[in-house]
Structure 1
Amino acid sequence: MLSRCPGWEALNILDAPPDGPVAFSGDLSPGCLLAAYRAGAYPFPAYDEYTRALNEVVFADQIQEGRIRLLGESADPYAVSWWSPDPRPVLPVSAAHLGRSLARRLRNRLSWSTSLDRRFEPVVRECGAGRTPPWLTEELIASLVHLHDLGHAHSVEVWEDGELVGGVFGLRVGPVFSMDSMFFHRPGASKVAVNDLAARFAEAGGLLLDAQRDSPHVRDLGAVLVPREQYLRHLRDTAYESLPMPTATLPADRLARPTG
């Protein structure tokens, strides 16, 4: 049973800054984490005291004006900033694609396979290993694992001869899958993970993979920018019928085969 987070449930972020935090709240409990994703926001924990203090000083005026909200009753709300960029980079599941070179390698040389939810926590920890700043805190990882146990968070794994060589993880909210992070130990493995996720999510009726933060890498995957308002409408699509994603371990070269 997840605790409710009325602050997130009542928050309207349409008028929040497009390129900065939309809220501060130190509550990373599973219930509040899921409520934030449903509201269209994702967390970025401060990784040291300087960053936490900077949050409080830099955004004080916007908080006083009500453009950025302080949520919950946590002792230190500035320990976690919450973001919802406008515009938002999203990848329609039908637009996911592998580059020609990677597709050729999958068809001719790579004997990779993919799976869903076989190694959720290891994928999360691989995504955080060596990253600067270190945003995947132990508290955040614990909440993500709890949400995975409840069926809200998922991972895709890429395997080479039994070795985990790539993956992606995130949270599913209706027709949207919000990808938190990805990793690779072999060139192209993270792209294969994202394409596999798109294929499995499409089979479950999903529409969009949310890349959260814009970058050349996510554009290369096929992401496009949409207004925040449009992104939020997708999250709140009440007509969407949630279906389970396929869980079978599958050959990765199927992703390189022509469709149609």
Structure 2
Amino acid sequence: MVSRCPGWESLDVSSAAPDGPVAFSSDLGPTSLLAAYRAGVYPFPVSDEYAHALNEVAFADLVEEGAIAVVGDDTADPYAVSWWSPDPRPVVPVTARHISRSLARRLRNRLPWSTSLDRRFEEVVRACRADRTPLWLTEELVASLVRLHDQGHAHSVEVWEGGELVGGVFGVRIGSVFSMDSMFFHRPDASKVAVADLAVRFEQAGGVLLDAQRDSPHVRALGGVLVPREQYLRRLHGTAQDGHPIPSATLPARRLAEPTERA
């Protein structure tokens, strides 16, 4: 029997598959998107009809068995968007952020970079979208993320070389957790600087974890560790409010070369 949930608040992912989709839902509107993040779930829209068909072929039996939930409107075709909550979850504790010694030397000695918060949110999102395969940052998802930014839920960190945007990261804040959706760089290591800067700013705002969503060697190099999904969800649900605003001043990136320094 298909497991149908009227909304994300009724979805229980604690016993869901550790390495596959935990739900399907075609609703990528900003209200649904924010509720999904609050439930510990993030979206992966398909980029074309072929990918849509693959989702249906690969997972329709699990949907029919109730192992994968369908969230929202019963009449909607859900397979255009899968939703994920991996176990374990890759996170970067804000106090464990990492910049390599070589990058720290470059920041101190040569790189004239600066960082900012929320100066170019949509530009950062679209830079993350450019030339990506598969194209999961669909126009519908971009539009909803921009709405969440306008509402104060989604944020970006920008890395600047003079007046040129050379790197960045963006995501959605849920209490003491910041779920990083994607990052980009136009100069080597600019995305690493963006994440380190986000960690410093988020810690000052009372944040604890940067959620990396998907594990990779790049995430580990940033200070990422794996935690059980149950532990991640406890942290996510432990604070209902976002707390202090994230500091937004434009600051020199070289300050990140000093481990004890804070924005």
Fold shared per TM-score above 0.5: yes
Q: Where in structure 2 are the equivalents of 1:240-251 lying within 5 Å?
A: 242-251=243-252
Q: Which blocks of at least 5 consecutive residues in structure 1 are unaligned?
A: none
Q: Aligned equivalents of 1:241 and 1:37: distance in 2?
A: 13
Q: Is the 8 A contact 2:6 2:71 kept in 1?
A: no
Sequence identity (%): 75
* Contact 2:115/2:160 (<8 A) preserved: yes
> 1:109 and 1:236, CA in 2 relative to 1: closer, same or farther beyond 3 A?
same
Residue in structure 2 matched with residue 136 of structure 1 by the alignment:
137
SS of 1:59's partner is: helix
**Counterpart for residue 115 of structure 1:** 116
Verify the 8 A CA contact 1:9 1:35 in the aligned structure 2: yes
Aligned to 1:58: 58
Cα distance in 1 for partners of 2:107, 2:196 equals: 13
Preserved contact between residue 173 and residue 242 of structure 2 (Cα < 8 Å): no
Structure-1 residue corresponding to 2:18? 18
Superposition map of 1:99-178 within 5 A: 99-178=100-179
Aligned-partner Cα distance in 2 for 1:199–1:214: 21
CA RMSD of aligned residues (A): 1.3
- Distance, in Å, in 2 between the alignment partners of 1:207 and 1:6 is 31
Q: Residue 30 of structure 2 aligns to which amino acid in structure 1?
A: P
Alpha-carbon distance between aligned partners in 2 of 1:174 and 1:258, rounded to the nearest angstrom: 24
2:218 maps to amino acid: H
Deviation at residue 53 of structure 1 after TM alignment: 1.2
Amino acid at match of 1:190: S
TM-score (norm. length: structure 1): 0.96
Pair 1:165–1:21, CA change in 2 (3 A): same
- Amino acid corresponding to residue 151 of structure 1 in structure 2: G
Give the gaps of 5 or more residues in structure 2: none
Residue number in structure 2 paired with 1:206: 207
Question: What does residue 34 of structure 1 align with?
Answer: 34
**1:91-117 Cα distance to aligned partner (Å, 9 max, x none):** 000000210000000000001000000
Distance 1:216 1:238 in 2: 30
> Counterpart of 2:12 in 1: which secondary structure?
coil
Q: 1:62 to 1:31 in 2, by over 3 A?
A: same
- Which 10-residue stretch deviates more, 162-171 or 62-71? 62-71
Q: Which residue of 2 aligns with 1:216?
A: 217
C-alpha offsets along residues 48-93 of structure 1, whole Å, 9 cap, x if unaligned?
1111111112112221221210111163210000011000000000
Partner of 2:85: 84
Residue 258 (structure 1) shift: 4.1
Cα distance change on mapping 1:152 and 1:241 into 2, 3 Å = closer
Which letter maps to 1:154? H
Could you say which residue in structure 2 is the equivalent of 1:193? 194
- Matched residue SS, 2:170: strand
2:160 partner amino acid: W
Equivalent pairs, count: 256
Q: Distance in 2 between matches of 1:231 and 1:258?
A: 25
Where 1:157 maps in the other structure, the secondary structure is: strand
After TM superposition, give the deviation of residue 159 of structure 1 in Å.
0.2
Q: Which runs of 4+ in 1 moved over 4 A?
A: none
